Structure 1
Amino acid sequence: MADDQDGSDHGPRKLSKGRYERELFLMQTELVKLQEWVRSEGARLVVVFEGRDAAGKGSTIKRVTAYLNPRVARIVALPRPTERERTQWYFQRYVEQLPAAGEIVLFDRSWYNRAGVERVMGFCTPTEYQRFLHQCPVFERMLVEDGILLRKYWFSVSDDVQEQRFRQRLDDPTRRWKLSPIDLESLTRWEDYSRAKDDMFVHTDIPEAPWYVVESDDKRRARLNMIAHLLSTVPYHDVTPPLLDLPPRPPSSGYRRPPRDLQTYVPDHAAELEK
């Protein structure tokens, strides 16, 4: 079970919203600098986000990418494999998503599906699972040897907090889509997932690509801790962009906009709120 982080005597005090948002914005500013360094240096950065359902991976990715250029920083959240993809080398569809020079790829779940949900739920055979444990360290060493910056984060959440977040999603129509029957079944398979994670770490927590565990019972702390660590592990520096000046607007050449009734405008819904 993850450490208690509710502000009691057994855990750190919860961050205030104001302090959290100020620090988050400072870090997001640094992430923009990191992005510009990646682009200017032609670096390739891969960040893997893994953890239990409702551990806070998605909300952290959202904060990481909030101010980044989507042409540079890309989120990959692959659906279940197609029938054709099931016949490919397991890592093949993930290789297609790896960054080119000057790109950042953030995996919202990754090839580690095989070591987690696929193993626990029986979606792969024991042979496929053992082959993954053998090949994964080799695969990741190849990525690092080729110059890819690979960072792997495991978001750790306690069973009580996970259940609480599941209940909140059930009651929230804007987040209910995040739940599936497989997600809910993870509550009854807590220890199975724990053993799967422990076995995965034994085989894949390698010096070339170590796992970094993020305590995520407190989402605010988890986001700040993860981003701060990522920034500390990449040797980026401030790449000052060229200064831009707004050109003077040229004088009118007689252009007139067409009458409004020739175009279709969306209804003014906002005006209805003022009544």
Structure 2
Amino acid sequence: MKVLITGATGLIGKAIVKKCHEQNITVHYLTTSKEKIEQQDNYKGFYWNPTANKIDVACLDGVESIINLAGATIANRWTASYKNVIVNSRLNTLQLIKETLQNNKHGVKHVISASAIGVYPDSLTNYYDEETSMVSTSFLGEVVEQWEAMTDTFKELDVLVSKVRIGLVLDGEEGALPQIVKPVKFNAGAPFGSGNQWQSWIHINDLAGIFVYVLTQEIDGVINGVAPNPVTNTELTKTVACVLDKKLILPNIPKGFMKLVLGEMHILLFESQRVSSKKIEEAGFQFEYVHLKPALQNLLT
């Protein structure tokens, strides 16, 4: 099997490439940086520039499936101009891939795109599965709605379409976890707001595993990329402190303070989405990290 991956050199992309190689799946990848292009038997890079509508069509040679992870980080301050970057970086890349498939001979049968659980409304009580039709009115909800709508247009090309809604990805080196760990290490960690907001987390290896499972088992539609046991923000903070053998002595961090510091982006810390992983489990996927503490022990010790 041969798969084309966009965003292959990012946090999630690197983990997916590793899983693909473990299962003897050859990877082609698209990169906007010519310095990142490698040519190995099972890992070949191709240049693209979505803003200039440029793509090396050779990337499609022998490819049966596409995993799309392209999109600007949401972890920069949400100015009006950067909000446009977040949206356009997701829509333009998908549009270019679609046009490339429409205009060239190819063997692609399956398109899998990243999405996000930010589509679900903020709630302390709801338990969201893939059948949920409610959409968050937040900026993230708008982004995901447009992102998934663009992904769904690939059905016009008679290909299988899958969307993996990613939760809080836990990795020891990159992403959110090192930022959570930093203050805790200095006994300065504390939950945000009430601390009751749900965090639907997933270990990076399990998330990569879900993408490859969706690929090999040809699972279509929406799939939640979260572990089976979400935790509250308080439990997350306490478990990080426990694994690092540190104390939590400070009061909870007020929402108003974080809004001053981060602007609109502060909702990333305060929104609550308790999300179900039942669909992928019922499809036969087995999680390596079902509970938070063993996941953190693996990543932090």
**Which of the pair has more CA radius of gyration?**
1
TM-score by length of 2: 0.34
Identify the structure with bigger relative contact order (alpha carbons < 8 Å, sequence gap 6+): 1
Structure with greater proportional strand content: 2
| TM-score of the superposed pair, with normalisation by structure 1 | 0.36
